[in-house]
Amino acid sequence: MKNKTLATWLTFLGGPLGLHRFYLFGFKDYLGWTIPWVTLLGLYGLQRVQEFGLDDFLSWWLLPIFGFTAAACALNAIVYGLMTPEAWNARFNPHHAVDNPAGNTNWLTIGAIVIALMVGATLLLSSFAYSFQRYFEYQIEEAHKMAL
């Protein structure tokens, strides 16, 4: 039985590690094994920012990858949390009744949805802001080089 509340929290908290994919689809899920590598690329960008500063060209390409991955997992948690019990059980518990309590929504599910919305929106907007800021600063630096 795949529990909707557990899957929602796993998607939000462990999504960048692919934990929700392993819970829902098993260890043979290729996307579950791909997500951690994408997350590690983003964390490598964070490490480069700490080591080389904000002016490192590679870091401003890699760091937003972590933010976008975490925001996508938060969005996925919201989608899972908002699924109707019938849709949840039909998709993830197909061999059981559609009114099985594993697909029910409770206050823990709602809490995961609310927190995922707040954190996911913050991560997404922060990633966009960082990316665009670094891009435009780079364009200004290049324009100054051409002007000299």
If one counts every other C-beta atom within 10 angstroms of the C-beta of residue 42, the result is 20
Mean predicted confidence (pLDDT) in 140-145: 89
Mean predicted confidence (pLDDT) in 93-97: 89
pLDDT at site 131: 87
* In the predicted structure, residue 97 carries a pLDDT above the cut 80: yes
- Cα-based torsion angle of the residue sequence 49, 53, 58, 63 in order, rounded to the nearest 10 degrees: 30
The alpha carbon of residue 11 and the mean position of all alpha carbons in its chain are separated, in whole angstroms, by 8
- Per residue in 99-128, pLDDT (tens digit) is 888 889 999 999 999 999 999 999 999 999
Q: Which residue has the higher pLDDT, 60 or 2?
A: 2
If one counts every other C-beta atom within 10 angstroms of the C-beta of residue 90, the result is 14
Contact 63, 132 (CB under 8 A): no
Contact 73, 104 (CB under 8 A): no
Instruction: Identify the H or E element spanning 3.
Output: none
Highest mean pLDDT, choosing among 23-32, 89-98, 132-141: 23-32
Phi, psi (rounded to 5 degrees) for 134: -65, -40
- Per residue in 24-71, pLDDT (tens digit) is 999 999 999 999 999 999 999 999 989 998 778 888 889 899 999 999
